[in-house]
Structure formats: structure tokens, C-alpha cells
Amino acid sequence: MGTHAEVEGRDETRVVPDGLLMCAGYGLDRDGSCIADARRRASVFLEEARTEHRVPVSERARDLTELVVSELVTNAYKYAPGLVLVEVRVTPGSVDIVVWDSDPAVPTIGAADPGRIGHHGVEIIEAVTQDLFVERGTAGKCVTARVALADGVGAA
């Protein structure tokens, strides 16, 4: 699925092999602004893909990417100590949002409960993405969510 960038608290945007058109990676500070920062960076990256590289990023794809970034980074911020790394990848048909954190626990979807307050993030992500998968490692996990670039493709 392409190559991973070594990112340690610095922005990096580059053209990458294996079908990826663009990729941006960054580490997040462990403070209350990291969620908004991640969402803003993803939005700016997709705007760059659309305007400078002529990638057909729909408004829906941008909005869903911001939502998915918010949910994944919120989970990492709340449940995983240590560094959170984010990578946003653009392919000809999709945007992949990849979040690495230090908690090896795989996120789960709870039973439907309209009275439950909170803990709906994974449900939301699953409902609006084409694909969602988790890779566990010795030092945490990597969660990848795929959003269609075009309107009317994939979930929701």
C-alpha cells in the first residue's frame, strides 16, 4: 500500500511510489490542540492535492476526511500515551487516513445503544469509510481508514 515515511514531529509532503499520488505525515503534540491541528493539516493537504496536483477531491471527501481524522486522533489522544503519528495518503480513488499510537488495544464497535453518551467514534468511522483496518505491533497499533475521493462512492 505504498511506503511509510519516517516522521518525527516535522511536516513532510512528497510523491511516493506504489500508486500513491501524495503523502503527508506529521507527529502531534500531546495537548488539547492536537485534534484541531490534525484536522487542519489534513484539510490543507487535500486542498493542495486538489489545486496544485489536480486531484479530484470532492467537498464530501474533504469533510469526511476531517471527521475521520478527528475521531482517530481523539481516540489516540484519549487512550494512548506517547507520540501520535498521522499520515494522509492520496491515491487516484481515495484518501487513506493512517494514525499510529502506542496503545495495542484494537478499537471495537459497541452494541447499538442510542442512550450511550460517547464511544461512537469507531461506529462513525465505519459508517462513512470504504475500509477500516487495524495493524497491531509490538509498540502499539496503526489504524487506517479509507475515504472515497468521488461523491457517491463507498459507504454512506
Q: What is the pLDDT of residue 111?
A: 75
Q: Could you read off the pLDDT of 27-60 as tens digits, one per residue? A: 998 887 899 999 999 999 999 999 999 999 999 9
- Backbone torsions φ then ψ of 57, nearest 5 degrees: -90, 115
Q: What is the pLDDT of residue 115?
A: 83
| Cell 493542495 sits on residue | 48
Provide the domain count of the chain. 1
Per-residue pLDDT at 1 exceeds 60: no
In a domain, 153, yes or no: no
User: Would you say 136 and 106 are in contact if contact means Cβ atoms under 8 Å apart?
Assistant: yes
Q: Could you read off the pLDDT of 89-139 as tens digits, one per residue? A: 999 899 999 999 999 988 877 777 778 777 778 888 999 999 999 999 888
- Whole-model pTM over 0.95: no
Q: Could you read off the pLDDT of 107-117 as tens digits, one per residue? A: 877 777 778 77
In a domain, 154, yes or no: no
For residue 89, give the amino acid letter.
R
Q: Look up the CATH number of the domain holding residue 21.
A: 3.30.565.10
SS3 97: strand
Rounded Cα distance between 47 and 143, Å, is: 23
In a domain, 1, yes or no: no
- Domain range spanning residue 50? 12-148
SS3 66: helix
